[in-house]
């Protein structure tokens, strides 16, 4: 059985799903449609874990491409899902999908000659993993013949938000030649393509031998090869991650795999996938995946709809109830620090809200109230002119950096678990309902020596309480 290496692309911002998805913590890391995050579900689907008897493909540990801000989130979420993280390549900056996929292909070709790669976004919903594996098994037959395989979704509506694939006729479920890529169409064109039966949605999922993918880049996008090869050659290992060289990477063109290679290559095949699929590209897609009731209404646990139709009501806070009365075609999504209300038919325009918030300097445009760090997370509860109150969670065995502050002192009150606290030369254990004072300028660190999460309340007072007032002396996560 051929072993396939999944290549997970994990760097997007997901602005159309604001306010839940933001630059600091985008949609792939959020449990949008269940208890698992989209990233975890994607990794599990491409690991073969817990699948049924129809499984006909074998997967190696994934290779993930992400950015420096998400590197610890990636390994943490894979670990929580019980999946070997495999190699994690850090892109110095986003250059679109073509450079990322080329870097993955070159890495696999160098370390695993003969490897087959399956490139997939990490934020799609594919409920039937067995059926998807069956499609992958069909695609492997074409890969063995030197083809680059893409997977097309059988369209269920005249969607204008997706690109399309025109393919030739073939046996049900079998690979067939790909005639051409079609950009996102207008409504009339989408209707005609749906009626013809010769078009599939472009899922952005590709499979090929790594060597064949590299050959395709050398033939159709030769200008990408030198900078990406140099970025890999000069890459540095950092705490198990592989950091691509930023100077060389900056020389790579910002271009998608479709434009760079796929629209030019002749050895392309497409496998139709008949099962359910969504890229969750907007709140209207989340509404569809949520299973609307007879009135077309989807509500979260902390939401109530009264005489509404075709409406999504969602609250992300257990302390915030959202109620809709007499609404039609409405999206209403509430988080602790922001609320979105939009016409369902304009779901794709949510990114305009993010742009408007950025223009006015609103922190909600890019930052979540809960700030995730390698050691855990914190959230600001109350902020004033000279003070801030935070809730901080530290994972078992994790530690914050040894640090000091120029402008603030801190009080720490442990409310769950036990903290090991360093203040200058003193080290002591602080248990639940105990507190410790960190004077201005003192060198300090907190650690969780236990086996359960440790939670504390931090009260900061001083002339300035911003996150950039940190001088780090030691850090197990090698942050600057």
DSSP string, 75-128: HHHHHHTT-----EEEESS---HHHHHHHHHHHHHHHSTT-EEEEEESS-B-S-
Both 166 and 214 in one domain: the answer is yes
Both 75 and 218 in one domain: the answer is yes
pLDDT confidence of residue 48: 64
Q: Which of 241, 273, 305 is the last residue of a domain?
A: 273
Q: On the CB side of 3, how many CA atoms lie within 13 Å of its CA?
A: 10
pLDDT confidence of residue 267: 94
Domain assignment present for residue 480? The answer is no
Both 51 and 198 in one domain: the answer is yes
Answer yes or no: is pLDDT of 50 > 70: no
User: Helix, strand, or coil here: 224?
Assistant: helix
Both 385 and 338 in one domain: the answer is no
For residue 23, what is the domain's CATH number? 3.90.550.10
Answer yes or no: is pLDDT of 446 > 70: yes
CB 85 within 8 A of CB 32: no
Both 269 and 321 in one domain: the answer is no
User: Helix, strand, or coil here: 323?
Assistant: strand
How confident is the model over 215-236, as a mean pLDDT?
97
Rounded CA gap, 101 and 95, in Å?
Answer: 11
Answer yes or no: is pLDDT of 58 > 60: yes
Both 385 and 422 in one domain: the answer is yes
DSSP H or E run through 383: strand 376-384
Domain assignment present for residue 344? The answer is yes
* Cis before 19? omega within 30: yes
Q: Which of 360, 387, 405 is the last residue of a domain?
A: 360
The residues, any chain, with a CB within 8 Å of residue 241's CB and separated by 6 or more, are 71, 88, 89, 90
Both 244 and 156 in one domain: the answer is yes
How confident is the model over 456-462, as a mean pLDDT?
97
Q: Would the pTM count as exceeding 0.85?
A: yes
Phi/psi class of residue 452: alpha, beta or left (left: φ > 0; alpha: ψ in -120 to 50)? beta
Both 9 and 86 in one domain: the answer is yes
Domain assignment present for residue 192? The answer is yes
How would residue 14 be classed by pLDDT, with cut points 50, 70 and 90? confident
How would residue 392 be classed by pLDDT, with cut points 50, 70 and 90? very high
pLDDT confidence of residue 5: 96
Domain assignment present for residue 346? The answer is yes
What does the block give as tokens for 61? 């540990």
Rounded CA gap, 15 and 365, in Å?
Answer: 9
Domain that holds residue 356: 284-360
CA separation, residue 249 to residues 95, 132, 181, 438 (Å):
8, 33, 28, 42
Q: Which of 273, 292, 312 is the last residue of a domain?
A: 273
Domain assignment present for residue 16? The answer is yes
Rounded CA gap, 477 and 480, in Å?
Answer: 9
How would residue 49 be classed by pLDDT, with cut points 50, 70 and 90? low
How confident is the model over 324-353, as a mean pLDDT?
96
Both 117 and 241 in one domain: the answer is yes
Domain assignment present for residue 378? The answer is yes
Q: What is the pLDDT of residues 102-146, one digit of tens each?
A: 999 999 999 999 999 999 999 999 999 888 999 999 999 999 999
CB 124 within 8 A of CB 278: yes
Both 356 and 376 in one domain: the answer is no
Domain assignment present for residue 144? The answer is yes
CB 341 within 8 A of CB 360: no
Answer yes or no: is pLDDT of 436 > 90: yes
Q: Which of 56-60, 108-112, 299-303, 307-311 has the lowest mean pLDDT?
A: 56-60
Residues 109-136 as b/e (b if ≥16 CB within 10 A, e otherwise) read: beeeeebbbbbbbbbbbbebbebbbbbb
Answer yes or no: is pLDDT of 427 > 90: yes
Both 351 and 470 in one domain: the answer is no
Residue 345 neighbours by CB distance under 10 Å: 11
For residue 380, what is the domain's CATH number? 2.60.120.10
Number of domains within the chain = 3
In DSSP terms, which residues pair with 116 in a beta bridge? 4, 209
Q: What share of the chain is helix, strand, coil (3-state, %, to 5)?
A: 25, 35, 40
Both 192 and 55 in one domain: the answer is yes
CB 447 within 8 A of CB 455: no
Residue 169 burial by CB count (10 A; 0-12/13-18/19+): exposed, middle or buried?
exposed
Domain assignment present for residue 279? The answer is no
């Amino acid at each position: 059985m051929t072993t396939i290496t999944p290549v997970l692309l994990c760097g997007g911002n997901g602005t159309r799903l604001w306010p839940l998805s933001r630059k600091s913590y985008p949609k792939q890391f959020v449990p949008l449609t269940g208890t698992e995050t989209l990233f975890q579900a994607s990794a599990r689907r491409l690991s073969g874990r817990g699948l049924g008897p129809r499984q006909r493909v074998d997967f190696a540990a994934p290779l993930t491409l992400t950015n420096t801000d998400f590197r610890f989130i990636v390994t943490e979420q894979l670990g929580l899902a019980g999946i070997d993280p495999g190699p994690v390549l850090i892109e110095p900056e986003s250059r679109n999908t073509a450079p990322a996929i080329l870097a993955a292909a070159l890495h696999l070709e160098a370390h695993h000659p003969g490897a087959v790669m399956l490139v997939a976004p990490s934020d799609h919903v594919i409920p039937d993993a067995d059926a998807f594996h069956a499609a992958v098994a069909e695609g492997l037959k074409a890969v063995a013949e030197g083809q680059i395989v893409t997977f097309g979704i059988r369209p269920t509506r005249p969607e204008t938000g997706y690109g399309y694939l025109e393919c030739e006729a073939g046996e049900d479920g079998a690979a067939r030649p790909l005639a051409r890529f079609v950009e996102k169409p207008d409504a009339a064109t989408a209707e005609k393509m749906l009626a013809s039966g010769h078009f599939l949605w472009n899922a952005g999922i590709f499979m090929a031998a790594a060597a064949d993918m590299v050959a395709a880049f050398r033939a159709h996008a030769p200008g990408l090869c030198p900078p990406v090869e140099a970025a890999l050659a000069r890459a540095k290992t950092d705490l198990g991650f592989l950091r691509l060289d930023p100077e060389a990477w900056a020389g790579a063109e910002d271009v998608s795999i479709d434009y760079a290679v796929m629209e030019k290559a002749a050895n392309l095949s497409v496998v139709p996938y008949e099962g359910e699929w969504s890229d969750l590209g907007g709140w209207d897609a989340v509404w569809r995946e949520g299973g609307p009731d007879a009135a077309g209404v989807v509500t979260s646990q902390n939401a109530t709809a009264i005489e509404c139709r075709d409406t999504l009501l969602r609250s992300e806070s257990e302390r915030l109830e959202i109620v809709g009365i007499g609404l039609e075609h409405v999206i209403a999504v509430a988080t602790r620090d922001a609320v979105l209300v939009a016409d369902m038919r304009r779901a794709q325009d949510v990114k305009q809200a993010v742009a408007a918030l950025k223009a006015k300097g609103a922190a909600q445009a890019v930052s979540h109230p809960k700030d995730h760090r390698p050691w855990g997370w914190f959230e600001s509860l109350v902020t004033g002119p000279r003070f801030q109150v935070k809730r901080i969670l530290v994972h078992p065995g994790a530690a914050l950096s040894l640090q000091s502050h120029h402008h603030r002192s801190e009080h720490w009150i442990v409310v769950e678990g036990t903290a090991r606290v360093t203040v200058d030369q003193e080290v002591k254990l602080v248990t639940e309902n105990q507190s410790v004072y960190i004077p201005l300028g003192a060198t300090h660190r907190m650690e969780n020596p236990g086996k359960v999460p440790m939670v504390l309340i931090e009260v900061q007072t001083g002339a300035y309480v911003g996150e950039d007032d940190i001088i780090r002396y030691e850090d197990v996560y090698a942050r600057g």
